[in-house]
C-alpha cells in the first residue's frame, strides 16, 4: 500500500494567528474583540522581528480600515 507524501508546514506565526482571530471576530461581529486582537498584533509587530513583518503590517492596516467601516453607520463614506 502506497501513501501520498504529506507536506509538513511550520505552524503559523503568532502574528498570523492574531490576524486570523481578528478576522474571525469581525465575521462574528465582535468588533471590540477584533480591535483588541489588532492591538495585540501591533504590539507583536513592534516587539518581535519576523520574516513576514511587512505583509502582516499591511494586513493589519487593511483590517483596521475594515473595522472602522464596520463601526460607521450605513451610508457614511470614507473621507476623500
Q: What is the pLDDT of residues 5-39, one digit of tens each?
A: 777 888 888 999 999 999 999 999 999 999 999 99
Residues present in the chain in total? 80
Is residue 57 within a helix (H) or strand (E), and if so which, with residue range?
helix 53-71
Q: How far apart are CA 22 and CA 41, in angstroms?
A: 9
Q: What is the pLDDT of residues 37-72, one digit of tens each?
A: 999 999 999 888 777 788 899 999 999 998 988 888
Task: Report DSSP letters for 4-42, one per residue.
Answer: PPPPP-PPPPHHHHHHHHHHHHHHTT-HHHHHHHHHHHH
**How many other C-beta atoms can be found within 10 angstroms of the C-beta atom of residue 72?**
10
Cell of 37: 486582537
pTM score of the predicted model: 0.76
Amino acid at each position: 500500500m502506497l501513501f501520498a507524501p504529506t507536506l509538513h508546514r511550520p505552524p503559523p506565526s503568532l502574528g498570523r494567528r492574531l490576524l486570523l482571530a481578528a478576522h474571525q471576530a469581525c465575521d462574528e461581529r465582535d468588533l471590540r474583540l477584533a480591535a483588541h486582537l489588532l492591538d495585540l498584533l501591533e504590539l507583536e509587530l513592534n516587539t518581535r522581528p519576523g520574516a513576514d513583518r511587512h505583509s502582516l503590517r499591511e494586513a493589519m492596516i487593511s483590517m483596521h480600515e475594515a473595522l472602522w467601516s464596520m463601526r460607521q453607520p450605513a451610508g457614511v463614506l470614507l473621507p476623500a
